[in-house]
Amino acid sequence: MIGSRTLIRALSRPLLSLVMLAALLGGVGLGNELWTPDEPRVAAIGRTMWRSGDWTLPRLNGEPFLEKPPFYWWVQAGIFTLAGRATAPLARLPSALFAFASVLLTYAIGRRYFTRDACLLAGLVLLSMSDFALASHWVVVDNALLFSVTGVLACFVHAENRSGRSRALLLAGMYAFAAAAFFSKGVVGLGVPVIGVATYLIWSGRLRAFTGWHLLAGGAALALLVGAWLHALWRAGGPALLDEFLIQNQLGRFFPGGVSTEWGHRRPYWYYALNAPGDWLPWTPFLVLAVVSARRNWDRLEPGWRDGLRFCAATSLSVLLALSLAGTKRSLYLLPIYPLVALAVGAWMVADVERALWERRLERAAAWLIRVCALLCVPAVYVALALLRLDAWPGSLWSAALLGAGWAALRFPRPRTRTAALASTALIACLASAHLFAALKPGLDGHKSFVPFVRELERWVPAERPLYAFQPPEATLGVIGFYTDRSVTPVDLDALRDLARGREKSWVVVRDREGSHGPYAVLREAGVPHRVVSETRVDDSRRFRILALGGDDAAAARAGEEREP
């Protein structure tokens, strides 16, 4: 009866169970180095803010970086300040904290409308949702927006039916979270909760009841905070910085055909319709069942339950539509509506509603598939490690054993009720997610890490000498800035030729993608004399070269001799 007792304890103390599991999943995988292209850039900006003490203007490689406001970097730089150092695990900590808080805020939203069991299951669904699980371990500023928007919604739903001092405090919290949303993603970040809340109020006919003095007071306070930061930007760089932030990186990113979409993530209008179902796995089939069930049983649901589902639908669909019309699109941009999707699924899991035969069969099949895939992820991890020729067997055995023991404990004996069965499936999905992070990440760390390149850089380029880079992407600037605390001077072909003719030796970093006609091919075709002193591969797709130009090699170059490794 271990499984039954485990489920009974989890369901009897839902908030405590959710806190413990969210902390476990958030902590697994924080120890690895920086991987994705976004991570070095974001971490380097946080490190620069910490080292420089300038908390107003985010900078990358010494230059203003105004694609995003600084809220994420404030938290990151604060963590670096408390720790007295900047490391990759510390750089990941803000994302884990934002995700952890978002799970608890999702529970808080649900408690306004649904039972504790439904809120617990919603939290488990959110934790094991594929895109949420990945994003919570990435160094990306979108986690700050997820936290801020979920906070706005949590304060709003509870303020709506309160009065007196508690309502005033909740409204103050709502506007504080709204300010955090702006400082996370700018105008778009503020627009996400405004669109969602306004749509819900209009749909439910409560727009007039919610209006009041707080709109003026809260709006004025928000405008004051935003204006103070924009004024600080103006003092730091004049109108040019305001134009870069407001016009290029705010309006240009949102409106189709905007000035900045030429270098943004341009996608067709139907991008989210095709990709969101994959991002919500393994719970997408359950979301479909939840929508079908709500439509069929709408009149039989309790008024509070209907209001909660209406809130989830209004705030998620309106934001999904608005973001689909935006000029740039990315799966991460939908993170703020993931809690609402999870709440809809969690409410359906515990609802005592009429279900057709095909619904029951699909539910059982989807739950069975999740449990089977959880077991299959154990051998899949080792197959992946073997194919990549990575040795991480000893460290991953304990997580496989934990997953197997948890799977057996939660399934034997079989849960007796539908809610308990779905709760066991959700817990197994969470354990499988933890296993994947614990087993795969240590092995992949050496495969995807930039550290080998950084060591080569420190080996060949003296710390007191300038470092150059030819056509460097932001990731390269971030890697060098975060790990070495060095600035990089970007150079063009003419500058490279001057360095190659110089009497002093110079070092240039060039990064290419495997199989592409990248900067190094351009440099070679231009006939720039050089010598490759180091070549490092990262995850078999990116190649970093350190080139030596000038100095002793200049005489050889003048003699027509180009030396290769």
531 inside domain: yes
60 bridge partner residues: 63
Q: Tell me which residue range forms the domain holding 411.
A: 358-447
H or E element in which residue 345 lies = helix 338-350
When pLDDT is cut at 50, 70 and 90, the band that residue 38 belongs to is: confident
Give the tens place of pLDDT for each residue, 94-132.
999 999 999 999 999 999 999 999 999 999 999 999 999
- Output the six-digit token pair for 415: 């849960």
3 inside domain: no
How many domains does the chain divide into? Answer: 3
Regarding whether 119 and 56 lie in a shared domain, the answer is: yes
Regarding whether 258 and 134 lie in a shared domain, the answer is: yes
For position 564, what pLDDT does the model report?
Answer: 45
| pLDDT of 78 over the 80 cut | yes
**Which one is predicted more confidently, 53 or 251?**
53
For position 392, what pLDDT does the model report?
Answer: 58
Regarding whether 521 and 409 lie in a shared domain, the answer is: no
As a whole number of angstroms, the distance between CA 470 and CA 481 comes to: 16
Domain end, chosen from 331, 350, 369, is at: 350
For position 237, what pLDDT does the model report?
Answer: 84
CB 517 within 8 A of CB 526: no
**Which one is predicted more confidently, 378 or 159?**
159
Among residues 134, 184, 187, which one has the least CA distance to residue 26?
A: 134
In three-state secondary structure terms, 549 is strand
9 inside domain: no
Regarding whether 370 and 294 lie in a shared domain, the answer is: no
CB 179 within 8 A of CB 225: yes
As a whole number of angstroms, the distance between CA 212 and CA 162 comes to: 14
When pLDDT is cut at 50, 70 and 90, the band that residue 10 belongs to is: low
Regarding whether 163 and 70 lie in a shared domain, the answer is: yes
- Give whichever of 40-44, 323-327, 448-452 has the largest mean pLDDT: 40-44
C-alpha 549, offset from chain centre: 40
Mean pLDDT across 322-326:
88
Domain end, chosen from 332, 350, 368, is at: 350
H or E element in which residue 535 lies = strand 531-538
20 inside domain: no
Domain end, chosen from 350, 373, 399, is at: 350
Provide the mean pLDDT of the chain.
88
Give 7-43 as a DSSP string: HHHHHHSHHHHHHHHHHHHHHTTTTS---SSHHHHHH
**Helix-, strand-, coil-residue percentages of the chain, each rounded to 5:** 70, 5, 25
Regarding whether 248 and 194 lie in a shared domain, the answer is: yes
- CA 410 to each of CA 12, 23, 256: distance values in angstroms, whole numbers, following the listed order: 16, 20, 49
- Output the six-digit token pair for 222: 């928000």
For position 328, what pLDDT does the model report?
Answer: 81
| pLDDT of 15 over the 90 cut | no
| pLDDT of 259 over the 60 cut | no
Regarding whether 179 and 49 lie in a shared domain, the answer is: yes
pTM, entire model: 0.92
